[in-house]
Amino acid sequence: MAAALFNGTSNSNDITIDMLDYQYIDNCSNIKELEKILRALRSGKDGYYPHLISHCEDKVRGMNPTSKALRKLNPITRTKDLPTDEAEVITNGIGEWKNEIHSNASDNQVNGCNLPPVRQTTTLKGTKSTVTNPSSKSQRIRSYDYKAWDKFDADKECENAEKQTQETPRTTATSKMSDKVDATGLSEYEMLVRATSEKDKGNEAFKSADFEEALTYYSRSISLSRTAASINNRALAYIRLQRWKEAESDCNDVLQLEPDNLKARLRRATARKELLKYIEAKNDLSFVLDKEPHNTRASKILEEVEQNLSKKSSGDASQSTSTGRKMMIAEVSSDEEETDPPTENHCEIKEQDVPDTLESEVAPISATVNGDGTEIVSKDDKVGSGNPETTFAAEEPHVEQPPPEMPQSVLKIKNSGKELFLSGQYGDAAQLYTKALNTLQACADKSPDLDHSCNIALLYNNRAACHLKVGDDKACIADCNEVLILKGMDTKALIRRAYAFEHMEKYQQAYLDFRSAQTVDWSIKQAQDGANRVASHLRDIHGPNWKSVLTGDRMIVTQHQKTSNSNQSAETKPSAQKQSKPDVTKPTIKPNNVPKQEIKKEKPNKSKRPQKSKAVPKQKATSKATGSKEKSSSPTEADREKKKEEIRRNLFDTLKNNGNTEVKKGNYEKAVECYTKSMDICPDEIASYTNRALCYLKLNKPVSAIEDCTEAIKRDPRNIKAMFRRAQANKNLKKYKQALDDLNKVLKLEPENKSAHAELMVVRKLMNNINNEDFIIKPSSSTKSPMKSKDAAKKEKKKRKIIIEDAESDEEVVNMSANNGKEDKVKTTSIKPDIISNGVADKHEVQSKFKDTKPTVELEEKVKEQVQTTEVIEKKIEQSEPNLKLKDPEEIKPTLDNPVVTSAKDDDILPQEEIKSPVQPSEDTKPSTQPQDPLSPTNTPTNHIFMNNTAPFVSPYEFGNAWNAVQPKHAVGTYKMILDRVPVEKIPELVTNKTTDHMIVTFAKIARYHLIAGVKEEIDRAYGILSSLSLAQRFNMAAMFLSKPDKKHVSAAIDDLEAALDTGSFTKSDVENLRVTYML
Amino acid sequence: MDKPQIITHLEKGMNHTLYDCKWIPRSARFVTLGSHPRGTGAINVFEINQRELQLVKECETPTSFKCGTFAASSLQARNLATGDFKGKLSVWDLENMKSTFDVDAHSEIINAIDGVGGLGIGEGAPELVTGSRDGAVKVWDVRQKDAPVACMVPEEGEGKRDCWSVAFGDAYNSEERCVCAGYDNGDVKMFDLRTMSLKWETNVKNGVCCVEFDRKDIPKNKLVVSSLEGKFKVFDVRTQHPKSGFASLSENAHKSTVWLARHLPQNRDLFMTTGGSGSLSLWKYEYPPKRVKEEDGVSKGVIGSLQYLQNSTISTQPVCGLDWSPDKLGLCVTVAFDQALRVLIVTKLNRV
């Protein structure tokens, strides 16, 4: 026993002589032990074995290249020991430097004069200058020292401890550093040296990701010497900080200094893209691509820019701005490309990611659609930064050594491809690999007896790596699929495909691939990390039960070899499938054209997952769909009960997704079919009911919708969506009371729900109106009026975004329609009604129709109607010629002493309103008769509801809703009407913290309207409006962001106030104060 | 082979002990400080010629020198501040080898000296800091002759510790400035000169041979503390946690006292340590993906890692002085107790 004990200790601690053996070292996997062996070998105690030592070193190096045991002390190296050429370089280098520094040494005889004063602490000397030197550590009382413990006062110690924690150390504030360096007394050479050192500091800070700090240093450097490099670097720092304007102007400066600076061009293009200056960005990019045709980053941005450009040119202003928003977020990670190419891909994902589209339809209740969108994006961001170099860098060395039988010619191409890859030219490398593949294929054809499949797989694998780097996820997946066909389970290919899927946000597939890679080789860390990462995404998306979404697929992992015939079954299935959870619909899912896809797929694909995606333009979405379908089909073979359940779920999901897609496309009838089937499969899934209810709503079948909602509420009494939809349906049926009940319930469950609030207002309004109006007006917008046709529904989504945007996008639409003249009438009108009818809740009321007429017909009717009215208006507009030019409200500034201009300005608001008015089916509005008085309620039919209601706003909600509902954003008249309902002193309360720059400007404009009247009360109110707005929360913040034209408006208003001093009951100093608070 | 190489370019043996060496800014000259066998001080100025070192000036003074710096001098004047064995702080005009400023700063030997505000490095007034065996750390302004502008001494009655090293840092604007001091018992203290308070302290167990900030003229970023017993620590001094202070890492090197740690003026993340066995090690600090993490609402620093780039054993005796050239990347001068000075070139530093 003693011996055993001894043995045990000797095993762990000592190195015995039999360990000093090649075989033992080869088999040893304990790095600590190996290091010990190495030490023992080096000590020479048991003899000197140089070859064994180097063998052991190699082994240690293989396991841990940074092992401390490998550190060897190098002897002194002298210049004369070096090869002559190196020695020459060094000696000459020093000689040159010496001469250079000598020539510069003479010119520094200037005296630095303005030194800061001597530190004032002299007076403290002797008394306070002693900083106490407390003993470094408070003595710990030993457990046996009872006397000391007797003296120990626990309370006091606690107090002390608290005091200490309160003295939280100040973290360094870089903001205190000035942006400029005092250069007085510096010679030119000195300035240059200082500038370089500041730039170095900037680079260092940049490297450690302190972009703000880097910015400061670059600015300091530039203040000393305007070199292109510093400005260029600063531009990059600005880009990282997303300060696009500054970035652009910096790039401009660089290009002035160095017109051929490609980096600056590229950076400017990036900034311009963000600034939505697509055309300029495109010019820059084509310049870059001219010089460097293989610049992948440039071509990537170009692609994006072109996409945006085409979107924009399609007249879809709101859409383009909305993408702009998203790209802002995306750009955070895409910037990293320059230093960290792999993350490139994340940017692409985010661009495709249009997360709110379906969500907004399926879940109208969540008014936070855009919030959701950004949330998803930000998650991606996390991935972007979360798996930085480490994972990808680790992947790089995966380029494999060629197997011996590869033909020489191919080998050559392959090696040069590898070199390119290693040097980062992934695009070129991919091309070379393609070439190699072709050559090899030719060889294989010539001599069929040689099995080149292994080599081909290798090449595909390498090309996949290139594609992955470049961000061409589809190509990467296709290549990986080839590899998997040829080689079966190849971990590298699996992991690469997983990355590609991950980039495409197909987390399920990515997860499965990571897992399969893991099953092949557990030790692959990338796979583990990846699986974890993706799993967390899935959890975010699908909630805690995310695994159930996968389970079906997982079987594929194990069975994937046999699935060749499962495609068939998949095809027969789709209609019988069922799904769950409509809310989790992934943004990119578009399974509608699935069947086609699958037929194509049949031909060559033996591997488990979709690869034919290239074939169809909508590859990503479809491949996803096919993927999921295939997956869901294969497990049908399984007979176990549990698996069946999983399959059911899978089918259900697919069906539900199909339904969602149909909804998206506007085929509500088809969607209803899908949902009905899904209900058959999983009768307990609430989602099918709520979703079908939505379809019914859209199809104007409120009774069925109510049935579905009731069904859903039966299963989940707290289902907000169901309640909300039932409320809508009830409203359409004029059962306002029930609708109100439901809405109140919703608000009880979710007091913040904006759409519910809006809806509530509408319903209340309707209840009031019902008595005194002949035809019933049906609210639209977020209420999803059933008569909305599919494109109306689409527009609605965009509409929502417009609300978020400021005036610009609306203006664009409006102006466009105004300018289009008669030729485009139809177009104009077709845009108009959508915008208006879908506009924010309560704003417009469009005829409600309960007849089961087809929505399209209705729309047509409406359009016709509008065409007529627009024609009238069009003429009207043409008469009042100048109006069309007055797109920009800033161009005209009303002044009290210039009534002509004032009236012109009034007109300025009119065109839009006139164009709007036709939508109003109304007797009570006379769109074109009173152009001179935009402020009269009758003339601004757009905001019907607010007009009728003159009661003061009670809650900030009401006010906020009304305010946000106003379209277009510069219809000051409408805004004024809203504001008229607010007592001056209540403004800050009602505005709450929603103050925006736009609001400030609008308030200023309204104040000027008041001033025009010239009456004392009006003038006082004008002053009141402006002064009380300045008391609102966040006012200072908003005021800070006023643009120049905005400021002009505000200052004009204050100027007017000043001019009206004698009539008003305020003093000149009041006005001056106002000027100060508005930061003018 | 992108690894930097440490190449001994020029070597020269002297007939006296050398303690410190400094490049004269904007020149190909450097100055060595030392002690003649008979206890007198030595200032020598050398210039590099193509393949040899040329002694340009030489001066013998009454007391041996321990340390010196140019860092508080203007680029035009380039006056050398020295600390000697008797506690005297002097500033020398090297043109005519006359002292322009003399003060009996300490009662015992000045072990370490550092400066800031000169040479365009660091905002604010040019100041010197001295650390001495008498336990005091004093800050000086050469415009005020008789008294230090700040003085950090141990409390009466408390045993005084030998201060072995001092360093300036955090001088990124004209108000902020801090001094870090290391003592023979392993204490490291950081004093904030703006608030005149002790900002942070720690104990590294072994006597602190050298403290140095990676840069003096930026918000304090990293601090290297080298100590006896072959250890040095790197602190990330950006983020101070109220309880656990600064994040740090510890590294073994040289298997003997780590005499010095000197950051490359052109790249703050590279530094050289010198050992008691005559070896030099070149290190690179690598930042973690995120330098700050939130812990219970308080931010806490995250330390990165060190990469061991290169080493070279240039002597059999401790290397007690090393200075990187501020003007030429990779050029440095060292002195060792074998009475030799060496000019080294470290290649490929820009590629690290």
**Tens digit of each residue's pLDDT (9 = 90 or more) over A104-143:** 655 554 444 567 777 765 433 332 333 334 443 445 666 7
Residue type at A1017 in one-letter notation: E
**Tens digit of each residue's pLDDT (9 = 90 or more) over A481-503:** 877 777 767 777 888 888 888 87
Residue of A nearest to B216 (CA): A201
As a whole number of angstroms, the distance between CA A1047 and CA A1041 comes to: 10
- Most distant CA pair in chain B, distance: 61
* Residue matched to tokens 């696009």: A244
Beta-bridged to residue B68, according to DSSP, are: B82
> Distance of alpha carbon B10 from its chain centroid, rounded?
23
**Tens digit of each residue's pLDDT (9 = 90 or more) over A135-170:** 434 456 667 777 777 777 777 766 666 655 444 444
**Tens digit of each residue's pLDDT (9 = 90 or more) over A342-396:** 333 333 333 333 333 333 333 333 333 333 333 333 333 333 333 333 333 333 3
Closest partner CB to B8 (pick from A77, A208, A388): A77
Top-ranked range on mean pLDDT: pick from A225-239, A490-504, B259-273: B259-273
Residue of A nearest to B141 (CA): A118
**Tens digit of each residue's pLDDT (9 = 90 or more) over A582-626:** 443 344 334 444 344 443 444 444 444 434 333 334 444 434 444
Closest partner CB to B27 (pick from A101, A130, A164): A101
If one compares B319 and A901, the residue with the highest pLDDT of the two is B319
Per-residue confidence (pLDDT) for residue A771, from 0 to 100: 52
| Cα radius of gyration (chain A) | 36
Per residue, what are the HEC states of A295-346? CHHHHHHHHHHHHHHHHHHCCCHHHHHHHHHHHHHHHHHHHHHHCCHHHHHH
HSE (side-chain half, CA atoms, 13 Å) at A150: 3
**Of A421-435, A445-459, A845-859, B23-37, which gets the smallest average pLDDT?**
A845-859
As a whole number of angstroms, the distance between CA A712 and CA A717 comes to: 8
As a whole number of angstroms, the distance between CA A385 and CA A397 comes to: 21
B-chain residues within 8 Å CB-CB of A118? Answer: 125, 141, 143-144, 149
B-chain residues within 8 Å CB-CB of A422? Answer: none
Per-residue confidence (pLDDT) for residue B211, from 0 to 100: 93
**Tens digit of each residue's pLDDT (9 = 90 or more) over A993-1052:** 777 788 888 888 888 888 887 778 888 888 888 888 888 877 888 888 788 888 888 888
**Tens digit of each residue's pLDDT (9 = 90 or more) over A1065-1078:** 788 888 888 888 88
Give B38 to chain A, closest Cα distance, Å: 32
- Token pair of A745, please? 């319930």
* A698 has a pLDDT exceeding 50: yes
- What letter does residue B62 receive in the DSSP assignment? S
Backbone dihedral region of A125: left (phi > 0), alpha (psi from -120 to 50 degrees) or beta?
beta
Query: How far is residue A977 from each of residues A304, A340, A970, measured CA to CA in Å?
Result: 43, 54, 13
B-chain residues within 8 Å CB-CB of A384? Answer: none
Give B40 to chain A, closest Cα distance, Å: 32
- Token pair of A620, please? 């990503």
Interface test with A, best of B152, B162, B172, B311 (most A CBs within 10 A): B172
Contacts of A390 (CB under 8 A, 6+ apart): none
**Tens digit of each residue's pLDDT (9 = 90 or more) over A170-203:** 444 444 667 676 666 667 777 787 788 888 888 8
- Token pair of A763, please? 């319903």
As a whole number of angstroms, the distance between CA B166 and CA B237 comes to: 16
* DSSP output for B272-327: EEEETTSEEEEEEEE--S-SEEEETTEEEE---EEEEEEEEE--SS-EEEEEE-SS
Per-residue confidence (pLDDT) for residue A881, from 0 to 100: 42
- Picking from A680, A651, A481, A622, the residue whose alpha carbon sits closest to that of residue A553 is A651
Closest partner CB to B313 (pick from A74, A102, A133): A74
Q: Which helix (H) or strand (E) holds A288?
A: helix A278-291
Interface test with B, best of A66, A92, A97, A119 (most B CBs within 10 A): A119
Q: What is the mean pLDDT of chain A?
A: 64
Phi, psi of A476 (to 5 degrees): -60, -45
As a whole number of angstroms, the distance between CA A821 and CA A868 comes to: 13
* Residue matched to tokens 């004029």: A734
Beta-bridged to residue B169, according to DSSP, are: B178
A-chain residues within 8 Å CB-CB of B314? Answer: 76
If one compares B259 and A474, the residue with the highest pLDDT of the two is B259
CB contact under 8 A, B28 and A102: yes
As a whole number of angstroms, the distance between CA A594 and CA A658 comes to: 9
Closest partner CB to A171 (pick from B27, B126, B239): B239
Instruction: pLDDT band for B234, please (50, 70, 90 cuts).
Output: very high
CB contact under 8 A, B219 and A118: no
Residue of A nearest to B170 (CA): A172
* DSSP output for A44-61: TTT---HHHHHHHHHHHH
Residue of B nearest to A189 (CA): B26
Phi, psi of A49 (to 5 degrees): -125, 85
Q: What percent of chain A has pLDDT over 70?
A: 56
Beta-bridged to residue B313, according to DSSP, are: A75, B279
Contacts of A197 (CB under 8 A, 6+ apart): B120, B265, B266
* A73 has a pLDDT exceeding 60: yes
* A964 has a pLDDT exceeding 60: yes
* A451 has a pLDDT exceeding 60: yes
* A315 has a pLDDT exceeding 70: no
Per-residue confidence (pLDDT) for residue B225, from 0 to 100: 93
CB pairs under 8 A between A and B: 201
As a whole number of angstroms, the distance between CA A276 and CA A450 comes to: 56
Peptide bond connecting B154 to the previous residue in cis, omega within 30 degrees of 0: no
Closest partner CB to A129 (pick from B151, B199, B203): B151
Interface test with A, best of B6, B51, B73 (most A CBs within 10 A): B51
As a whole number of angstroms, the distance between CA A467 and CA A427 comes to: 7
- Most distant CA pair in chain A, distance: 113
Give B39 to chain A, closest Cα distance, Å: 31
A-chain residues within 8 Å CB-CB of B240? Answer: 169, 171
Q: Under a CB-based contact definition with an 8 Å cutoff, are residues B114 and B129 in contact?
A: yes
**Of A678-687, A786-795, B91-100, which gets the smallest average pLDDT?**
A786-795
Closest partner CB to B149 (pick from A121, A133, A209): A121
As a whole number of angstroms, the distance between CA A53 and CA A972 comes to: 86
B-chain residues within 8 Å CB-CB of A186? Answer: 120
* A51 has a pLDDT exceeding 70: yes
* A672 has a pLDDT exceeding 90: no
A-chain residues within 8 Å CB-CB of B254? Answer: none
* A253 has a pLDDT exceeding 60: yes
As a whole number of angstroms, the distance between CA B46 and CA A349 comes to: 62
* A855 has a pLDDT exceeding 70: no
Closest partner CB to A121 (pick from B74, B126, B196): B196
Average pLDDT value for residue range A319-340: 37
ipTM of the complex: 0.82
As a whole number of angstroms, the distance between CA A784 and CA A789 comes to: 10
CB contact under 8 A, A190 and B202: no
**Tens digit of each residue's pLDDT (9 = 90 or more) over B67-80:** 999 988 888 888 89
Q: Under a CB-based contact definition with an 8 Å cutoff, are residues A652 and A577 in contact?
A: yes
Q: Under a CB-based contact definition with an 8 Å cutoff, are residues A689 and A712 in contact?
A: yes
Q: What is the mean pLDDT of chain B?
A: 87
- Token pair of B268, please? 């703050």
The Cβ of residue A1004 has, within 10 Å, a number of other Cβ atoms equal to: 27
Cα torsion at A397, A402, A403, A404 (round to 10°)?
A: -140
